[in-house]
Structure 1
Amino acid sequence: MRRYSNDISIVFGGAAGQGIQTIASALVSVLKRTGCHVFACTEFMSRVRGGSNSTQVRITGRKRHAYVHRIDFLFALNADALEHLKTRIAPTTIVFADKSQVPSTDEGLLVDAPITSFARQAGNPIYSNTAAVAVALGLLGIPQEGLDNYLREIFAGKGDAVVADNIEAARLGYAFGRQTALREEIEVEIAVEPEKNRPKELLLDGTAAVGIGAVAAGCTFISSYPMSPGTGVLTFLAQRSHEFNIVVDQAEDEISAVNTALGASYAGARAIVTTSGGGFALMEEGISLAGMTEVPLVVHLGQRPGPATGMPTRTEQADLNLVLHAGHGEFPRVILAPGTFAEAILLTQRAFQLADRYQLTAFVLTDQFFLDSTGSMAAAVVKREPIERHIVETDEEYMRYRFTPDGLSPRGVPGYGKGIVKCDSHEHDETGHLTENFETRRRMVEKRLRRIKALAAESLMPELVGGSADAPNIVVAWGSNRGVLEESLDTLQRADLAGLHFSQLYPFNPSVATLLKGKIVTVLENNASGQFADLLHRELAVSTANRILKWTGEPFSVEEVVEALREI
């Protein structure tokens, strides 16, 4: 008997345009409402129609935020889905497909699922997505009532007839799913136990988390040129711009975007730009301008594989060095990389706070896997940090770049006070006038760099995400690899192994070196060279014994991380 209990992997596969993400989104929403722990992640080709895409939905007994290679139930909407996912189909996989369209599979068990026929019976082939969701719910034994309520909400504006037809398609699909789960020749026993009386939770993706953080931070301006996977933050803020008084500028290119944001920040706005690696490459001169003018700026960079166009819809962590060294000259910056949706909300707020306080560029570094993943989080963990503005009212003696013991000059903005707020891309004196005086140049560089020490002192420490701090072997991860590291360590249950997750990548808190002293360090990251491992060595003299690296454009799976750690 095939038994699936507290960790079920359902994958929907098909071509772009077939509604794969629509099906997964509906299923995740219904499962979350019933009290199940759900996590979904997508992989898709860079094309509007065709190709082969898939979305994985995990239903687990405890909260998880990681991708698994295993497929328990595969819904193949076309024949290409089987070829595309063949390396993940095992003898235990049950494949649901219309046998008239999808040939038999060498692995797994193929169940003839006439989903399109159910939709036609309900009145229109367009209801196929509803029928597919219902089959999955019937298979899991989740009451159909939750789906019916969801359909009433979603299609309320389309009239009673559309709602009724969708509910009929759901009835037919659900009945088929229940019958399949009970068939003796298939021998499937599924145990999904939704958690009751769980605190209120939010269902969101990584894009929304970054956007919520920007709104909570008091963001008033965004200027960006669309580039996946960073575009979602632009559309998220644009959709809510009137509600939260955010000025939205879709610029003609990335050069314009960063310079427009700097202009807005100079005038007193809280500004952000969102982009990906290829777009950010065009922004580097603007980042250098921000360093010289000491204008606050937040940059969200959603990573994807490069160089050049690379793989626009895939994931990677290879832009750390890019943001670390972006811009000519030497000037301070902050790099943050959230590992959970709650962290994304908090760290985006922190990025705005640090940019304002230290008059610099703060980076929020994410990736395609993180931004396009969906999961639930407790509403109570969402916190709005106090908004601190470090703007002074100027007087007639005001000097924008006055020398101070901590390197931070009082920041004024035009029109607030009697002073003149001068700004120049040249090296300048305290008043803002350009200068070529060597002594002034020396002091200005020291002034700008002096704040790195203060930044490091308040830098976030890495978080223990598994095992004991006394363990001799430490696995280090950053950004989106937090979830896969947590689950892998939980699977291994080894007393000699622990995990540390870094959400602040630069500058490091000085105490980090002490934390890792004498440990056997393994670094887990999605790039080919081990960029974060190199950074640890360069900044803290921490040597890494092992590097677990992946640069195919796919996220790490729990299975491969567990296997890699066992081999080490």
Structure 2
Amino acid sequence: MSQMPLSNDISIVLGGEAGQGIQTIEQLLTKILKLNNFYVFATKEYMSRVRGGSNTTSIRVGSHPLQAPIDRIDLLIPLDKQVLPRLQHRITNQTIVTGDMEVLETNLKIFDIPLKKLSKELGSEIYSNTIALGLILALLKTDSQIMEKYLGKYFGAKGDKLVQLNIKAAHLGFKHGRELIENGTVRFPELSISDIQNDIMINGSEAIAMGAIAGGCRCIASYPMSPGTGVITFMAKVEHDFELIVEQAEDEIAAINMAIGAWYAGARAMVTTSGGGFALMSEGLSLAGMLEMPVVIHIAQRPGPATGLPTRTEQGDLELALYAGHGEFPRIILAPESLKDAFYITQKAFNLADKYQVPVIILTDQYFVDTYYNIPSFDLSQIKVESCIIETDENYLRYQFTDDGISPRGIPGKGKGLVGVDSDEHDEAGHITENLGLRVKMVDKRLKKLSLIKESAIAAKIYGPSDSRGFIISWGSTNRIVREAVKHLGKKDLTHIALQQVYPLPENLRHLLSSAKHTIVVENNATSQLGKLILRETGFQIDHKILKYNGLPFTVEELMHAISETIS
């Protein structure tokens, strides 16, 4: 795909085998570049293996906020010979490739940096990645003292010898980078710096975890499953700071039941998983539906069916989240588009679960949870934990009929009432019943909550004129990519509708679609699951679909191309 000029930023890609430290360099680079007051956006593509394969990390560095991946590569540093063939379609005459000719075995024009030789002189080839780090930082004209200070902090726990060797390796790379600049070999546009010292650098997993903690979560129970594991990993690191219970369950069935039990006892809880793990939780999801028990579930989507591509991305589990579980009961499905929104929406998810006594599902994906960028610190003054637990009396009925279908929720030990719950159909007190008339009343009671939930749905946001000729609809992690693509296309009659709640659909979506002349839906799946949901809920048929399901997220350039072709 040909490159398109986008904006004042530099696109850097590092590639190498699993085990060569690509992830470490990503973490170091993003932090050091942010300390140099650059905006940073980083995302990765990696294979499902501990050693070998070919992994890449892509980092955009700029003078303004960056929140979407691009095809263009300005600087490519391959650490092994598999990288260049894999990225051939993204390399152009403008791409600067620098690396070790001895290792790469290619006919491409390479600016040779003897990484293997230099790292061996330091005692081990593992220092190749730190040399590459210094090279990149020099080419971006960063402050070497900031680099040295941060390396000392990062490697400090591993001993002074390792710290000094990594600093020496980085300075070696920095020296070679300065030489490439001074002899005119490499020239990048000057990037202005911004006052972002108070920004935080996080990824999607951390944003979800922080939002859960801010939402009053006190317990997370999960079985590890990529790419959802990062949430429980982060919460395990801070469990003592926030008095959390972090439990690695024996399987996903145990995890969902632990979370439901925690809510029954009065503690806000969640699980984090991926599609395959959530499939095992479907009976527990129905249990929450029958018990009218709150629970928050985070699904980090990856391509299926079965194991599929366990380390790649897809928006393929919307219908799984929508239809999972036997029987009919309400639920809420949220899909944050940015790290900032992930924090606030996850926090809100706990309040929604508590208020409506329903499962709330947060849909992200591998691309989203593994993406890093800097954002302003969260405004905690907006945060409020809205507990709906009551103190019970002797006449308390857990499933009391009410006008809105929401029964007062008590917990054992708070008040004098007995809090009876049952997975069988039950009466108002929670006792098993086979009264068929009562059965109908209880089903209607549970479903009645859906109309209230719709009233509090997160509204669809529009970017562009509401009376434009063309509407592009997307959800979750694709929103920011679509938005940048539409911005660069510069078409005044094109409006983007961005959804962060996909069920129930926001009420304003129906109104927006009623005035649409031409519609396009953009989704990271094969069957347009959102498009089908919109048709089911509103009767509106989307005109065109732009779909991608090869395990990678959209890039800005390919969306620009696809949208242009579609509207032409």
TM-score (norm 2): 0.96
2:431 matched to 1:469? no
2:258 matched to 1:290? no
Shift of residue 359, structure 1, vs aligned partner: 0.4
Q: After superposition, where does 1:165-314 map in structure 2 within 5 Å?
A: 165-184=165-184, 186=185, 188-198=186-196, 200-314=198-312
Residue in 1 that maps onto 2:426: 428
In 1: Cα distance, 2:116 partner to 2:522 partner: 43
In 1: Cα distance, 2:197 partner to 2:46 partner: 33
Q: Deviations over 1:215-248 (max 9, x none)?
A: 1011011111110000111111111111111111
Question: More deviation in 135-144 or 203-212?
Answer: 135-144
2:491 is aligned, of 491, 494, 504, to: 494
In 2: Cα distance, 1:4 partner to 1:358 partner: 44
Shift of residue 345, structure 1, vs aligned partner: 0.3
Asked whether the equivalents of residues 34 and 194 of structure 1 are also in contact (C-alpha less than 8 Å), the reply is no
Residue in 2 that maps onto 1:507: 504
Question: More deviation in 393-402 or 511-520?
Answer: 511-520
Residue in 1 that maps onto 2:403: 405
Q: Deviations over 1:322-359 (max 9, x none)?
A: 01011111110000000000100011011100100000
In 1: Cα distance, 2:529 partner to 2:30 partner: 35
Q: Write the letter of the residue equivalent to 2:194.
A: K
Shift of residue 469, structure 1, vs aligned partner: 2.4
Change (3 A) 1:461 1:275: same
Match of 2:102, SS? Answer: coil
In 1: Cα distance, 2:265 partner to 2:546 partner: 45
2:109 matched to 1:85? no
Asked whether the equivalents of residues 525 and 548 of structure 2 are also in contact (C-alpha less than 8 Å), the reply is yes
Match of 1:428, SS? Answer: coil
Asked whether the equivalents of residues 82 and 105 of structure 1 are also in contact (C-alpha less than 8 Å), the reply is no
Residue in 2 that maps onto 1:163: 163
Question: More deviation in 20-29 or 315-324?
Answer: 20-29
Q: Write the letter of the residue equivalent to 1:130.
A: T
In 1: Cα distance, 2:361 partner to 2:408 partner: 23
Shift of residue 148, structure 1, vs aligned partner: 0.9
Shift of residue 436, structure 1, vs aligned partner: 1.0
2:126 matched to 1:129? no
In 2: Cα distance, 1:5 partner to 1:544 partner: 31
Q: Write the letter of the residue equivalent to 1:301.
A: I
Match of 2:369, SS? Answer: helix
Residue in 1 that maps onto 2:349: 351
Match of 2:110, SS? Answer: strand
2:435 matched to 1:437? yes
In 2: Cα distance, 1:180 partner to 1:468 partner: 47
Match of 2:309, SS? Answer: coil
In 1: Cα distance, 2:6 partner to 2:333 partner: 41
Q: Deviations over 1:284-339 (max 9, x none)?
A: 01100100000100000000000011000000001000010111111100000000
Q: Deviations over 1:34-91 (max 9, x none)?
A: 1111100000000010001000011123212111112111111111111222222222
Asked whether the equivalents of residues 76 and 98 of structure 2 are also in contact (C-alpha less than 8 Å), the reply is yes
Residue in 1 that maps onto 2:114: 114
Change (3 A) 1:429 1:5: closer
Shift of residue 122, structure 1, vs aligned partner: 4.4
Q: Write the letter of the residue equivalent to 2:553.
A: P
Q: After superposition, where does 1:47-86 map in structure 2 within 5 Å?
A: 47-86=49-88
Asked whether the equivalents of residues 523 and 548 of structure 2 are also in contact (C-alpha less than 8 Å), the reply is yes
Asked whether the equivalents of residues 400 and 432 of structure 1 are also in contact (C-alpha less than 8 Å), the reply is yes
Q: Write the letter of the residue equivalent to 1:445.
A: V
Shift of residue 566, structure 1, vs aligned partner: 0.6
Asked whether the equivalents of residues 62 and 191 of structure 2 are also in contact (C-alpha less than 8 Å), the reply is no
Asked whether the equivalents of residues 210 and 233 of structure 1 are also in contact (C-alpha less than 8 Å), the reply is yes
Match of 1:133, SS? Answer: helix
TM-score (norm 1): 0.96
Change (3 A) 1:443 1:354: same
Shift of residue 137, structure 1, vs aligned partner: 1.1
Match of 1:244, SS? Answer: coil
Q: Write the letter of the residue equivalent to 1:354.
A: L
Asked whether the equivalents of residues 304 and 368 of structure 1 are also in contact (C-alpha less than 8 Å), the reply is yes
Query: Unpaired runs of 5+ in structure 1?
Result: none
In 1: Cα distance, 2:381 partner to 2:491 partner: 34
1:390 is aligned, of 376, 383, 388, to: 388
In 2: Cα distance, 1:145 partner to 1:58 partner: 22
In 2: Cα distance, 1:192 partner to 1:375 partner: 20
In 2: Cα distance, 1:336 partner to 1:236 partner: 21
2:14 matched to 1:17? no
Shift of residue 123, structure 1, vs aligned partner: 5.1
Match of 2:297, SS? Answer: strand
Q: After superposition, where does 1:135-150 map in structure 2 within 5 Å?
A: 135-150=135-150
2:339 matched to 1:337? no
Q: Write the letter of the residue equivalent to 1:73.
A: L
Match of 1:71, SS? Answer: coil
In 2: Cα distance, 1:567 partner to 1:428 partner: 56
**Length, aligned pairs only:** 561
Match of 1:101, SS? Answer: helix
In 2: Cα distance, 1:327 partner to 1:481 partner: 27
Aligned Cα root-mean-square deviation (Å)? 1.6
Asked whether the equivalents of residues 473 and 496 of structure 1 are also in contact (C-alpha less than 8 Å), the reply is yes
Residue in 2 that maps onto 1:453: 451
In 1: Cα distance, 2:214 partner to 2:6 partner: 41
2:25 matched to 1:27? no
In 2: Cα distance, 1:306 partner to 1:286 partner: 21
Residue in 1 that maps onto 2:359: 361
Q: Write the letter of the residue equivalent to 2:489.
A: L
Q: Deviations over 1:370-410 (max 9, x none)?
A: 00010010115566521111111111111110000010111
Shift of residue 4, structure 1, vs aligned partner: 11
In 1: Cα distance, 2:334 partner to 2:324 partner: 15
In 2: Cα distance, 1:102 partner to 1:381 partner: 47
In 1: Cα distance, 2:163 partner to 2:50 partner: 28
Asked whether the equivalents of residues 460 and 508 of structure 2 are also in contact (C-alpha less than 8 Å), the reply is no
Q: Deviations over 1:147-181 (max 9, x none)?
A: 11111211233444433332222222111011113
Q: Write the letter of the residue equivalent to 1:496.
A: D
Query: Unpaired runs of 5+ in structure 2?
Result: none
Residue in 1 that maps onto 2:475: 478
Asked whether the equivalents of residues 32 and 38 of structure 1 are also in contact (C-alpha less than 8 Å), the reply is yes
Match of 1:299, SS? Answer: strand
Question: More deviation in 446-455 or 505-514?
Answer: 505-514
In 2: Cα distance, 1:379 partner to 1:359 partner: 31
Q: Write the letter of the residue equivalent to 1:379.
A: S
